Amino acid sequence: MTRFVFVTGGVVSSLGKGIASAALAALLQARGHKVRMRKLDPYLNVDPGTMSPYQHGEVFITDDGAETDLDLGHYERFTGVHARRSDNATTGRIYSDVIARERRGDYLGATVQVIPHITDAIKEAVVSGTDGYDFVIVEIGGTVGDIESLPFLEAIRQLRNDLGYDQTMCVHLTLLPYIPSAGELKTKPTQHSVKELQNVGLQPQILLCRSDRPIPQNERQKIANFCNVRPESVIAALDVDTIYACPIAYHQQGMDREVLRYFGLPHEESPDLSRWERIVRGIREPKGEVRIAIVGKYTALLDSYKSLAEALLHGGIAQNVRVRMDWVDSEELDKPEHVEALLQGADAVLVPGGFGARGSEGKINAVRHARENGIPFLGICFGMQMAVIECARSLAGLSKASSTEFGPTSEPLVGLMTEWAQGTELLRRREGGDLGGTMRLGAYTAKLAEGSRVAQIYGRTEVRERHRHRWEVNLHYRDVLEKASLHFSGMSPDGVLPEVVEYADHPWFIGVQYHPELLSKPFDPHPLFVSFVEAAKQNRLKRQTAQGQSS
């Protein structure tokens, strides 16, 4: 029997529902249960693919090509279970599906309404494809009381009646603020949040109370009395120094035991958390440090690069070093004279994905700085394209090399893709078409050249990585670029789309068209990031040795 755990939030947003949900999933996995995770998002966008990173943070890509909420990245990093398109449903997608059914006549002339048609579609999105799992953890975005989340909460209320209370439970995350002038934690926001949830027919069985200090027993009892839960089900969600300590912290507070107790499952024995203890120890007790400059255009909101930051952290754990990330606004590097000052002291340089002309010259200048000074460099997606343009301009004599993404150009080193193969299907796109869901999305195979650095890093010559891009390096320039020493070391299986470029005569310089950060996990770090951090580590040692000799 599949059991469903619904996770809601109240009082304020950004309390960490995604991390809490992922930590619970990790705890249930550690006890031998098979777990799947899902996210319901109340916004009207069909998916976050066309949303600004400043609005919503990064877009996480699944193997099957879905553009999803960044919380699905947390789910994968904590559980190792690959997310699917069906694991993220938005109001926009639900309404689009219902309207499409109405247009086809599927409802046989019925008046289409929120109840039952929208709520039925939500329930279908929750339960479909969950056979064979012991637990499905469903996070509902936003906060209780938001008008846009009401259909989702109503659907959950109905599901609890449909499936039975022995198969479903609600976990509610709230804030317990500490008021310094009063010298105490205040429980009233939690009480009001639970009351709001009860008003729509949902009674939480567990309360996760986000706090910066332990909850005194009298406050815990007070919350239990007013919110109609057991005192043992009032779980302190205390601040931690790393998100990967959350499974350990929640277990210490008894969260997994309370979930299993509610469902009548064995809960006396402790789970094996040695994996998470090793990860936390690696973060807290590094043997060294490296500084990596990340040159991007969305650095004002670091959630725009959430998976990237986590992948670098994972590489640091594997190399037993702390990775210090220097976030550099690429527009500040548009003037070449600023590059040296802003990248000074960096042990490695990384240029991540992005879109548009803004800040592109700064990224090209960062690539040039890394190439000319022998600094380890990793270019991802847009970053790889900027590396190709930099090579064309600086080494191949093509001073007008550019991308058609930036406007008309006589030397289109990077151009808009119009068709590509996906398995046995040929996908076509046209300029001026819809933006949403029209990129080359999802997992595709790349063939790596024998003896190349990238093949040595992976330990094989065929990899499958996740993509999200609309523009592609123009293969017509391959010969002139390789004569300039930039080697095309990875290609699509049909030999049409460049996937990896590298300089053989550079200490460590690789550009990839895909997004390796999306597959990295703390217990299984991506090999590219492990090698990249190792290169940064070696470069730091080399510079320290040179400084010691000069002094």
Which pLDDT tens digit goes with each residue over 259-301? 999 999 999 888 999 999 999 999 999 999 999 999 998 888 8
Beta strand 440-448 pairing with 486-491: antiparallel
Q: Are 135 and 149 in contact (CB under 8 A)?
A: no
Structure-model confidence comparison of residues 443 and 547, the more confident one: 443
Measure the CA angle with vertex 30, ends 26 and 35; round to 5°: 55
The residue-averaged pLDDT of 309-330 equals 97
Distances (CA, A) of 66 to 80, 81, 221: 17, 15, 44
Q: CA torsion sign, 240 to 245 to 248 to 250?
A: positive
| 3-class DSSP state of 511 | strand
Q: What is the DSSP letter of 524?
A: B
User: CATH fold of 289-545, please?
Assistant: Rossmann fold (3.40.50)
Residue with tokens 């970053």: 383
- pLDDT at res. 427: 58
pLDDT tens for 265-276 read: 999 888 999 999
The number of angstroms, rounded, from the C-alpha of 267 to the middle of its chain's C-alpha atoms is 31
In this model, does residue 60 exceed pLDDT 80? yes
- 42: closest CA among 147, 116, 194, 183? 147
The number of angstroms, rounded, from the C-alpha of 458 to the middle of its chain's C-alpha atoms is 22
pLDDT tens for 206-227 read: 999 999 999 999 999 999 999 9
The neighbour count for residue 449, using CB atoms within 10 Å, is 16
Q: For residue 512, with 0-12 CB atoms within 10 Å meaning exposed, 13-18 middle and 19 or more buried, which class applies?
A: buried
**Rounded CA gap, 219 and 190, in Å?**
11
pLDDT tens for 93-113 read: 999 999 999 999 999 989 999
**Rounded CA gap, 156 and 144, in Å?**
13
**Rounded CA gap, 159 and 126, in Å?**
9
Q: Are 294 and 305 in contact (CB under 8 A)?
A: yes
Domain boundaries for CATH 3.40.50.880 within the chain: 289-545
Percent of the chain, pLDDT > 70? Answer: 96
Q: Which residues of 123-159 are buried (b: 16+ CB within 10 A; e: fewer)?
A: bebbbeebeebbbbbbbbbbbbbbeebebbbbbbbbb
In this model, does residue 421 exceed pLDDT 60? no
Considering the candidates 219, 390, 517, 534, report the single residue annotated as catalytic.
517
- pLDDT at res. 335: 87
Q: For residue 311, with 0-12 CB atoms within 10 Å meaning exposed, 13-18 middle and 19 or more buried, which class applies?
A: buried
Please give the mean pLDDT across all residues of the chain.
Answer: 93
| 3-class DSSP state of 263 | coil
- pLDDT at res. 356: 87
Considering the candidates 76, 515, 526, 534, report the single residue annotated as catalytic.
515
Radius of gyration of the chain (CA): 25
In this model, does residue 419 exceed pLDDT 70? no
Give the contacts of 227 (CB within 8 A, at least 6 positions apart).
190, 191, 194, 204, 207, 234
| Tokens matching residue 387 | 């590396």
**Rounded CA gap, 445 and 468, in Å?**
14
Top-confidence range, 49-53, 362-366, 422-426: 362-366
pLDDT tens for 12-46 read: 888 899 999 999 999 999 999 999 999 999 999 88
Percent of the chain, pLDDT > 90? Answer: 83
pLDDT tens for 430-445 read: 665 656 667 889 999 9
285 is catalytic: no
Q: Are 261 and 267 in contact (CB under 8 A)?
A: yes
- pLDDT at res. 438: 74
Domain boundaries for CATH 3.40.50.300 within the chain: 3-279
246 is catalytic: no
Candidates 1.10.10.10, 1.10.1270.20, 3.40.50.300, 3.40.1640.10; CATH matching 3-279: 3.40.50.300
**Rounded CA gap, 60 and 378, in Å?**
20
Structure-model confidence comparison of residues 550 and 373, the more confident one: 373
Confidence of residue 337 (pLDDT cuts 50, 70, 90): confident
The residue-averaged pLDDT of 345-357 equals 93
**Rounded CA gap, 16 and 28, in Å?**
18
Q: Are 308 and 375 in contact (CB under 8 A)?
A: no
The number of angstroms, rounded, from the C-alpha of 399 to the middle of its chain's C-alpha atoms is 37
Q: Are 281 and 338 in contact (CB under 8 A)?
A: no
Q: How many alpha carbons fall within 13 Å on the CB side of residue 536?
A: 31
The residue-averaged pLDDT of 532-543 equals 95
Distances (CA, A) of 72 to 36, 139, 313, 316, 499: 11, 10, 18, 22, 25
Confidence of residue 546 (pLDDT cuts 50, 70, 90): confident
Q: Is the peptide bond before 116 cis (omega within 30 degrees of 0)?
A: yes
**Rounded CA gap, 444 and 417, in Å?**
15
Q: Is the pTM of this model over 0.85?
A: yes
- pLDDT at res. 436: 62
Considering the candidates 381, 390, 506, 526, report the single residue annotated as catalytic.
381
The residue-averaged pLDDT of 145-172 equals 96
The residue-averaged pLDDT of 145-155 equals 94
In this model, does residue 424 exceed pLDDT 70? no
476 is catalytic: no
- 56: closest CA among 142, 124, 116? 142
Q: What is the DSSP letter of 364?
A: H
Structure-model confidence comparison of residues 501 and 182, the more confident one: 501
Q: Which residues pair with 488 in a beta bridge?
A: 501
- pLDDT at res. 124: 97
Q: Are 205 and 169 in contact (CB under 8 A)?
A: yes
The number of angstroms, rounded, from the C-alpha of 148 to the middle of its chain's C-alpha atoms is 24
Confidence of residue 57 (pLDDT cuts 50, 70, 90): confident
Q: What is the DSSP letter of 118?
A: I
